[in-house]
Amino acid sequence: MTGPAHTGSYLSDPRVRPMEWLPWVLALVCYFAAPTYLPLGSYILIMILFALSLDLILGYAGIITLGHAAYFGFGAYVAAILAVRVTADPLIGIAVAGISAGLLGWLTGLVILRMRGLTLLMLTLAITSICYEIANKATALTGGADGLGGFNMKPILGLFKFDLFNKTGYLYCLLFLFVAWWLVRRIIYSPFGASLTGIRENVARMHALGSPVYQRLVAVYTISAALAGVAGGLLTHTTEFVGLKVLSFDLSGDLLVMLILGGVGRIYGAFVGPVVYLLAQDSLAKQFPEYWYFGIGLMLVLVVMFARGGILGIVDRLLLRIRRGNT
Amino acid sequence: MQGFASSLVSVAFHGIAYGMILYVISVGLSVTMGLMGFVNLAHGVFAMTGGYVMLSAMSRYDVPFPLALCLAFVLVAAASVVLERLLYARLYSAGDLEQVLLTIGLIFMAVAAARLAYGTLQQPVNLPPYLKGQFALFGRDFPAYRVFLVAFSSVLVAVLWFGVERTRWGAKVRAAVDNRAMAQAIGINTSLLFTVTFALGSGLAALGGALGADIIAIQPIYPFENLITFLIVVAVGGMGSLRGPFVAALLIGISDTACKYWLPQFGAFFIYAATIAILLWRPAGLFGKASQ
């Protein structure tokens, strides 16, 4: 793909550009500048991580899924059940949530990634729906429609307590997001990442080149599911509650909208989208819920029709125009 | 034993009525997906709009029931032509992702518009007096409206089958489903064919939504709530065929009713599990062509 310079790929320079530190600086500035917004901030960080995991399979490998909430929700429920029944240690919780969501991703990926197109889309939907039904009906374990709460997380490493204003939670999420960003970035700039892009662009040719397409897809799907599970676990830990919403189709849909809004297949689209979407939602959705949903729908239609690259795509084009104007 | 046999008949009857409605709504989706390869997630929007058109025509303007049904069909079919020409047609050659996003966007807009216009509650259905009450058949009483549903949908299915299998237009549609490029090459105006078929499919969905307002509640969340069910009918049945979705719709209608009746504690679990099993066994659906 002859993408603009922003789009990371195996062929571009893998060193971290100065611009790439901007999100982290901004995140830290927000920590000090807007202490009352930290609960929202934590949620945004979690959704960025979740969007990043989706970008890996949707943007790079081209797997169209409407059911990524399955792994997010699975991780969230695993973290909650673990906290209620076994241990409320956060780091163990995240590790178990990530690993179990990864396992679920591996198992389901093995089965569904042999399919393509509508069949694959249907299978992802059906898997999420099954998870939702199980969480809804297995009330003894999951609390059903009431959700699962009433547990208190222990301090991280026994040192940092989760506080009411979510100061610890925010930094906790930021740390995991940073690790995930580093991991995703490594993947994308690796030969493995290049083969994923190849699969997205031309599956037949990848087969012809002798690339193990199915194994590559299963591998990236597993990694993505594990990251989504970590994001789900973080949500459980910072809110000390988990409800059915984490497994709903709405969440998969919202996530897709956020990623599309930011820009698909370019790491930082997953950063920009959730920030813009969730900040706008926070200020607009409560006052005008109907207009909000209508606006989201309209925006999707417009993005598909006129601005396929999302916000970052528009920025790219503007920059390109300015640069051309200068020379 | 008597009680079990009686509930068996009842489940089968209600299941068939539900399945018929599912078929009338989804058959358009199956044909347009098979014909254009377009992943139209917004199909439920047409069904919901049909329901709203019929219900408000009846309650606000006292339009008689049969006329309200026709109105739902005509209005939605006409509106779908506009949408098809304006939006869908530009994305026929685009990837699945673009089509998915566009149609999800349409769902969002339709849900918001329905909420603004009608509020979030489900619409009450006032059936005409001649369709209320019970209908005696083989010494049992059946709800008259459901009997009407099954009879009416059966007629629709027969007309549809005749239209696709026995008319010139149907032959063109089948040709275009099989091989679009070849159909175009021998002089079939596929673009016009698409538009007409899309309008008919959307009109049928509206008719199904209106007819089934009693079974599948008309409320703003309708396109999202039933999206999976409609898609399952098409995916399990196989795109582009008439017979596949028919079998799938009846299977889903009956098994869903049976599950809700006998195993309510499992919810819709079995439907989804069965869908996964069938799709793994036959990825193109029960009657779909494996190569597509």
Which of A290, A291, A292, A296 would best serve as a mutation to test chain B binding (most B beta carbons within 10 A)? A290
Rounded to whole angstroms, how far apart are CA atoms A260 and A284? 20
Touching B: A residues 218-257, CB under 8 Å: 249-250, 253, 256-257
Does residue B210 contact residue B200 with C-beta atoms inside 8 Å? no
The answer to whether B116 contacts chain A (CB < 8 Å) is yes
Q: Is residue A147 part of a domain?
A: yes
Does the residue A165 lie in any domain? yes
pLDDT digits (tens, 9 = 90+) for A50-76: 999 999 999 899 898 988 999 999 999
Give, as one character, the DSSP assignment of residue B292: -
Whether A324 and A287 have beta carbons less than 8 Å apart is answered as no
Q: Would A254 be classed as within a structural domain?
A: no
Q: What percent of chain B has pLDDT over 70?
A: 97
Q: Which residue ranges of chain A lie beneath pLDDT 50?
A: 1-6
Mutate which of B97, B241, B259 to test chain A, going by most A C-beta atoms within 10 A?
B97
pTM: 0.88
**Amino acid symbol at B227:** L
How many domains are there within chain A?
Answer: 1
Chain A, chain B: beta-carbon pairs less than 8 Å apart:
124
Whether pLDDT at B200 is above 80? yes
Domain for residue A324, yes or no?
no
* pLDDT tens string A196-228: 989 988 889 999 998 899 999 999 999 999 999
Q: Taking CA B122 as the corner, what is the angle to CA B121 and CA B126, rounded to the nearest 5 degrees? A: 130
A282 belongs to a structural domain: no
- Domain containing A144 equals 34-249
Q: Across the interface, which of B33, B102, B228 has its CB nearest the CB of A301?
A: B102
**B83-96 pLDDT tens trace:** 999 988 888 888 88
- Answer whether residue A191 is part of any domain: yes
Concatenated DSSP letters for B226-269? THHHHHHHHHHH-TT-SHHHHHHHHHHHHHHHHHHHH-GGGTTH
Chain A residue closest to B221 (CA)? A250
Share of chain B above pLDDT 90, in %: 27
B272 in contact with A, Cβ within 8 Å:
yes
Residues 251-310 of chain A with CB under 8 A from chain B are: 253, 256-257, 260, 264, 289-294, 296-301, 303-305, 308
**Is A111 an 8 Å CB contact of chain B?**
yes
Per-residue pLDDT at B5 exceeds 50 = yes
Q: Is residue A67 part of a domain?
A: yes
Contact A265, A7 (CB under 8 A): yes
A1 touches B at CB < 8 Å: no
Asked if residue A203 is part of any domain, the answer here is: yes
A190 and chain B in contact, CB less than 8 A:
no
**Which band of pLDDT confidence, cut at 50, 70 and 90, is reported for residue B130?**
confident
Q: What value does the mean pLDDT take over residues B243-259?
A: 89
**Helix, coil or strand: residue A149:** coil
Tell me the chain A residues in contact with residue B290 when contact means C-beta distances shorter than 8 Å: none
What is the distance between the alpha carbons of residues B38 and A118, in angstroms, rounded to a whole number? Answer: 10
Q: Let me know: does B149 contact B21? Beta carbons within 8 Å.
A: yes
Residue A327: the pLDDT is 62
